């Protein structure tokens, strides 16, 4: 197994001088060296061929004993030094101090085809940042992360990736809903891949400790390695760097809103500096269209990270990053301008995104009210977001009377769409039809365009739960079926039509389908 190994992170950034794997506050360091925990009976369940190729490995490499051992923490590749990253963060709006990689261990950096990747194990044991936790992961959460990160990539959403999914052979004690009922589950490890796992919190920790020397070292490293097109580090470059992080964060969240994805835990330690979706925990896709929905039971009362609030939280998190970077930039006005630009750009980009979902290519002032009225309508009765927008693609100009028939499968209770609600839908569909008359593209062309941004298949929580339930019984076929399905989320795939369906009633209140915790 030959890899083009690079160790830029560990050779260019300050390391923790304490080599003991003991829980502690780690000062003046970006990372701590740590060795993954050996597992008793590792078994590889799935490998992403695409990511395997991306880091320069072949199928035969993945079938080797060496690959299995390295991706389950039982062997350290020569000339590499695994490490856990040190960072802080705001959790649910409150400063949490030092956090760090509590159950993630970065194995190595690899360069292939002029791209650089960090390969990381999630669930490979304790680190100095594990606090009171065991640093392990279970099959349930590992399947969710493995499937989702690859599904998001194929949906066109900026994301970290997944390379492999493996069982450890060990049992792990978990309290799924934090309600005092812990139980043993199958242990598992996901190998995650990203150009970088640096987060907003990586910079916050140095700023909070007023360690401006190491803050500058880390920011300079980040610019040189990941934003080199901005030029050599300087005050002006730092400002441009912050502006680009802001833009990337905005674009990522626009994509989330487009497909109805809810991250669930948008803490600053879960925000990638590269604008990638990172740390798949209690995420979910909107079933019924609802701006107030969150999949996270921990957030059930205040709903801070609800679907409709994700754009605002992105901005709030950028304010925290601005505070962290301020000692290097020292220009509050310029930074405030960037933050204000995020707010105004989000309105513009959001409108542009919704136009694309509706197949509107020209810009008309009345589009704002058309979209607002649609969003209000979608919330009057439980309406499946994915099915609604996908089915709307078949709408034909001048055939508004057929509109309700087209979208009826999106309603959870079609019998509710009567009386005044029926009239409201018909009124909106008539307005939509009139608006489409202003477009020059044909119905066929518009449908193709709409189908390219409105996915047919997303990883609904109940789908992941079915794969988890089968895997708990030792049957891993559904993991691969969903993995293959979600590689082409915009294609019709008639052989997989059963997955283009509303959430079944049994899943409405089932743990893992509607209720998820931070350990999910």
Give pLDDT tens digits for 250-270: 999 999 999 999 999 999 999
Neighbouring-strand partners of residue 204: none
Say if residue 468's pLDDT is above 70.
Answer: yes
**Residue 322 tokens, joined:** 């601005």
Distance CA 209, CA 195 (A): 27
- 153 contacts 198 by C-beta, under 8 angstroms: no
Question: Distances in Å between the alpha carbon of 243 and those of 48, 250, 321, 480, 510?
Answer: 33, 11, 11, 40, 42
Say if residue 520's pLDDT is above 60.
Answer: no
- 318 contacts 345 by C-beta, under 8 angstroms: no
User: What is the pLDDT of the chain when averaged over all its residues?
Assistant: 96
The count of other CB atoms within 10 Å of the CB of residue 348 is: 9
Backbone angles phi, psi at 211, to 5 degrees: -95, 75
Res 358: pLDDT: 98
Q: Span 3-13, mean pLDDT?
A: 96
Say if residue 464's pLDDT is above 90.
Answer: yes
Distance CA 221, CA 216 (A): 8
Q: Is 147 exposed, middle or buried (0-12, 13-18, 19+ CB in 10 A)?
A: buried
Confidence of residue 386 (pLDDT cuts 50, 70, 90): very high
Say if residue 519's pLDDT is above 70.
Answer: no
- 312 contacts 257 by C-beta, under 8 angstroms: no
Q: What angle do CA 101, 105, 110 make, to 5 degrees?
A: 125
Say if residue 73's pLDDT is above 60.
Answer: yes
Confidence of residue 139 (pLDDT cuts 50, 70, 90): very high
Distance CA 169, CA 191 (A): 16
* DSSP per-residue letters across 19-33: -S-------S-SEEE
Q: Is 498 exposed, middle or buried (0-12, 13-18, 19+ CB in 10 A)?
A: exposed
C-alpha neighbours within 13 Å on the C-beta side of residue 184? 3
Question: Of the candidates 52, 59, 33, which has an alpha carbon nearest to the alpha carbon of residue 119?
Answer: 52
Q: Span 239-256, mean pLDDT?
A: 98
Res 176: pLDDT: 76
Question: Of the candidates 75, 1, 19, 74, which has an alpha carbon nearest to the alpha carbon of residue 42?
Answer: 74
Q: Span 134-151, mean pLDDT?
A: 96
- 518 contacts 281 by C-beta, under 8 angstroms: yes
Backbone angles phi, psi at 291, to 5 degrees: -65, -20
**Residue 504 tokens, joined:** 């079944």
C-alpha neighbours within 13 Å on the C-beta side of residue 8? 18
Confidence of residue 482 (pLDDT cuts 50, 70, 90): very high
**Residue 32 tokens, joined:** 């701590």
Give pLDDT tens digits for 120-135: 999 999 999 999 889 9
Q: What whole-number percentage of the chain has pLDDT above 90?
A: 94
Res 132: pLDDT: 87
- 227 contacts 245 by C-beta, under 8 angstroms: no
Say if residue 515's pLDDT is above 70.
Answer: no
Catalytic one of 16, 211, 269, 279: 269
Query: Which alpha helices (H) appear in 416-519, and where do they start and end?
Result: 419-436, 443-451, 461-472, 477-485
Q: Span 300-328, mean pLDDT?
A: 97
Res 251: pLDDT: 98
Distance CA 335, CA 249 (A): 15
Instruction: Map residue 377 onto helix, strand or coil.
Output: helix
Give pLDDT tens digits for 170-215: 999 988 777 778 899 999 999 999 999 999 999 999 999 999 999 9
Confidence of residue 513 (pLDDT cuts 50, 70, 90): confident
Output the pTM of the full model. Answer: 0.97
Q: What whole-number percentage of the chain has pLDDT above 70?
A: 99
Distance CA 323, CA 268 (A): 12
Helices (H) and strands (E) in the chain, counts: 17, 13
* DSSP per-residue letters across 419-431: HHHHHHHHHHHHH
Say if residue 49's pLDDT is above 80.
Answer: yes
Res 175: pLDDT: 81
Q: What angle do CA 201, 220, 94 make, to 5 degrees?
A: 15
Instruction: Map residue 262 onto helix, strand or coil.
Output: strand
Question: Of the candidates 121, 135, 130, 138, which has an alpha carbon nearest to the alpha carbon of residue 100?
Answer: 130
Identify the residue whose tokens are 């330690």: 269
Question: Of the candidates 87, 84, 97, which has an alpha carbon nearest to the alpha carbon of residue 19?
Answer: 84
Res 516: pLDDT: 78
Establish whether 475 is a catalytic residue. no
**Length of the chain in terms of residues written:** 520
């Amino acid at each position: 197994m030959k890899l083009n190994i690079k160790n830029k992170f560990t050779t260019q950034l300050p390391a923790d001088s304490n080599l003991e794997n003991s829980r502690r506050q780690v000062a003046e360091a970006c990372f701590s060296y740590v060795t993954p925990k050996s597992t008793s009976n590792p078994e590889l369940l799935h490998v992403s061929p695409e990511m395997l190729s991306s880091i320069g490995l072949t199928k035969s490499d993945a079938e080797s004993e060496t690959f299995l051992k390295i991706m389950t923490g039982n062997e350290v590749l020569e000339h590499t030094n695994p490490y856990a990253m040190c960072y802080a963060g705001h959790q649910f709006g409150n400063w949490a101090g030092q956090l760090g990689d509590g159950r993630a261990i970065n194995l190595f950096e690899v360069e292939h085809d002029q791209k650089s990747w960090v390969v990381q194990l999630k669930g490979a044991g304790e680190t100095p940042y594990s606090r009171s936790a065991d640093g392990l992961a279970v099959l349930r959460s590992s399947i969710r992360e493995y499937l989702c990160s690859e599904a998001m990539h194929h949906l066109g959403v900026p994301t970290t990736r997944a390379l492999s999914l493996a069982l450890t052979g060990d049992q792990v004690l978990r309290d799924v809903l934090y309600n005092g009922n812990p139980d043993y589950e199958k242990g598992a490890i996901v190998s995650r891949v990203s150009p970088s796992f640096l987060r907003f919190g990586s910079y916050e920790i140095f700023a909070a400790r007023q360690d401006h020397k190491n803050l500058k070292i880390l920011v300079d490293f980040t610019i040189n390695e990941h934003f080199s097109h901005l030029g050599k580090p300087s005050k002006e470059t730092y400002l441009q760097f912050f502006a680009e992080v802001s833009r990337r964060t905005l674009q990522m969240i626009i994509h989330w809103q487009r497909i109805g994805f809810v991250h669930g835990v948008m803490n600053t330690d879960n925000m990638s500096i590269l604008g990638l979706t990172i740390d798949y925990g209690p995420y979910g896709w909107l079933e019924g269209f609802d701006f107030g929905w969150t999949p996270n039971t921990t957030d059930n009362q205040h709903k801070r990270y609800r679907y409709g609030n994700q754009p605002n939280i992105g901005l709030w998190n950028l304010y925290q990053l601005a505070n962290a970077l301020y000692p290097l930039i020292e220009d509050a006005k310029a930074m405030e301008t960037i933050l204000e630009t995020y707010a105004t750009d989000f309105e513009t980009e959001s409108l542009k995104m919704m136009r694309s979902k509706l197949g509107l290519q020209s810009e008309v002032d009345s589009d704002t009210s058309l979209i607002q009225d649609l969003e209000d309508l979608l919330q009057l009765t439980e309406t499946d977001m994915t099915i609604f927008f996908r089915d709307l693609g078949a709408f034909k100009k001048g055939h508004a009377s057929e509109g309700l028939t087209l979208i009826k499968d999106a309603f959870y209770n079609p019998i509710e769409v009567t009386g005044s609600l029926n009239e409201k839908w018909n009124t909106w569909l008539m307005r939509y039809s009139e608006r489409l008359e202003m477009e020059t593209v044909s119905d066929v062309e518009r449908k193709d365009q709409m189908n390219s941004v409105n996915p047919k298949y997303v990883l609904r929580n109940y789908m992941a739960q079915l794969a988890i339930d089968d895997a708990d019984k030792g049957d891993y076929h559904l993991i691969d079926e969903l993995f293959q399905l979600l590689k082409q989320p915009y294609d019709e795939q008639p052989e997989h039509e059963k997955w283009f369906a509303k959430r079944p009633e049994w899943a409405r209140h089932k743990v893992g389908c509607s209720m998820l915790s931070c350990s999910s």
